[in-house]
Amino acid sequence: MIEIFQNFEQVAARFNPSVLIGSGVAILILGLLIWLGGLGLRKILITLAGLTSGIVVGLFVVGRNLFSASLSAALAALIALIFEKVLVVLLAAALAAAVAFTVLAEPYFEKAETITAQSQMSEQTTTAGLDETLQELKTFAFDAGGKIKHAGTKIPVQIWAIIAAPAAIFLICGVILWRFTSALFFSFFGTMVIFAGMILLLLYKGTEPVSHIRGKPVIYAAVFLAMAAFGTIEQLLLCKGSKKKKVTEIKPGKEKSKSKKNKEPEKIVEHDWRST
């Protein structure tokens, strides 16, 4: 999997600088919001995620026009807003499975990478324009998807069972401990987005951040886990949910009758022994 990121590093070196700077800054700010306030902003973030996925489905899958993109985006945003808590748990499970797939499928990606590594030896050093940048990004996305699919067909069944285990654990934890699972998901995903934004900005500077991360994986993994833990604790402490207070309503008639009973003095009836 790391070879795909290194290929992106080589391809992105020819991207338009405005694309790298603009997307890097936007992704970095988005990552900070998710990392530190995802639990409090979950409705907005989930709605935006549904809106974006609906636009992508409408443009590339369903009708491939503006009307279908608008319709699918509105439906996806509405569904995401209604089932926000369920979607957070499902996204957390999907992220856990994706991380497990990235780690356990690494040997199979290396075998798949040797097949297509020679086709990327001829690289142009000229900076691409905006249209060429988008076209190269689209080509890279299709190529990366093909490599992931090719590697997935070579993974044995027992590895797929291990990959599915973290997803099942997050599904169970999401039902029992929803706040902790949601805070952990937003913190972990926000840290990933921050790393992605920093990589894009460092690519603009001409450095090779992916190669540096691969050279020192322990250090960067420790930094990543520390950021994820800090974001989880910070969200649990600061992003508190609204607590609903139970208000017991007392009817006015009952209250008056009760107060009258309390205020009325007890009448003592004296019986004369001579009257009996």
What mean pLDDT comes out for the span 61-90? 85
The first and second tokens of residue 130, run together, are 């905006």
**Strongest mean pLDDT among 60-64, 119-123, 239-243, 253-257:** 60-64
Per the structure block, which two tokens stand in for 110? 């290396």
* Mean pLDDT value across the chain: 79
Contact in structure between 198 and 209 (CB atoms under 8 Å): yes
What's the pLDDT at 168? 96
Gap between the Cα atoms of 56 and 176, Å rounded:
33
Distance (Å, whole) CA 200 – CA 203: 5
Q: Find where tokens 């508190």 sit.
A: 240
> d(Cα 6, Cα 62) in Å, to the nearest integer?
32
pLDDT digits (tens, 9 = 90+) for 212-221: 888 888 999 9
Residue 119 has pLDDT above 80, yes or no: no
Residue 246 in tokens: 């139970």
Q: How far apart are CA 208 and CA 200, in angstroms?
A: 10
**Is it the case that residue 187 has pLDDT exceeding 90?**
yes
Quote the CA–CA distance of 196 and 224 in Å, as a whole number.
12
Tell me: the pLDDT tens digits for 18-75? Answer: 888 888 899 999 999 999 999 999 999 999 988 888 887 777 776 667 777 788 889 9
Type and span of the H or E element at 262? helix 252-263
DSSP-derived 3-state class of residue 116: helix
More confident residue, 15 or 77: 77
pTM for this prediction:
0.78
Which is higher by pLDDT, 39 or 245? 39
Confidence of residue 113 (pLDDT cuts 50, 70, 90): very low
Kindly indicate the confidence band of residue 189, based on its pLDDT and cuts at 50, 70 and 90.
very high
CA 6 to chain centre: 23
Q: What pLDDT, on a 0 to 100 scale, did the predictor assign at position 246?
A: 43
| DSSP string computed for 8-30 | HHHHHTTS-HHHHHHHHHHHHHH
Q: Which burial class, exposed, middle or buried, applies to 180 when counting CB atoms under 10 A from its CB (0-12, 13-18, 19+)?
A: middle
Pairwise pLDDT comparison (29 vs 211), residue with the higher score: 29
Most distant pair of Cα atoms in the chain: their distance:
127
Of the two residues 114 and 226, the one the predictor is more confident about is 226
For the segment 131-157, the average pLDDT, to the nearest whole number, is 82
Share of the chain above pLDDT 90, in %: 40
As a whole number, mean pLDDT of residues 101-118 equals: 64
Q: How confident is the model at residue 94 (pLDDT cuts 50, 70, 90)?
A: very high
Which has more pLDDT, 111 or 208? Answer: 208
Q: Is the pLDDT of residue 248 over 80?
A: no
pLDDT the model gives residue 211 = 83
What pLDDT is stored for residue 241 in this prediction? 60
The residue type found at 8 is F
Greater confidence (108 vs 165) lies with 165
The structure tokens listed for 231 are 């974001």
**Closest C-alpha to 94, from 83, 102, 105, 104:** 102
Q: What are phi and psi of 233, to 5 degrees?
A: -65, -40
